[in-house]
Amino acid sequence: MISNEQRAHDIALALMAKNADPKNPIAAYHEYVTLLVPLLKELDRDFPKGIN
């Protein structure tokens, strides 16, 4: 079973990697968190017990 947290983390990393500037890790982390929180909220709403 994949937890919602792991799924949201994987999606956020994939999206962030496409646009992140490797020379600015603080901005990259900020973008990661900005992507992660809404993804996690949506996954928790759609799959309250995780994804099997």
For 35-47, how does the pLDDT look when each residue is reduced to its tens digit (9 = 90+)? Answer: 999 999 999 999 8
pTM over 0.85: no
Domain ranges of the chain: 4-46
Under the banding of pLDDT at 50, 70 and 90, the label for residue 50 is confident
**The pLDDT value given to residue 1:** 74
Query: How many other β-carbons are positioned within 10 Å of the β-carbon of residue 39?
Result: 18
Selection from 39, 34, 42 nearest residue 10 by Cα = 39
Q: How far apart are CA 14 and CA 9, in angstroms?
A: 9
In this prediction, residue 19 has a pLDDT band, given cuts at 50, 70 and 90, of confident
Per-residue model confidence (pLDDT) at position 22: 84
Q: CA nearest 13: which of 32, 33, 29?
A: 32
| Contact between 10 and 39 (Cβ < 8 Å) | no
Taking residues 18-37, what's their average pLDDT? 90
- Map tokens 């929180």 to a residue: 37
Query: What residues form DSSP beta bridges with 51?
Result: 2
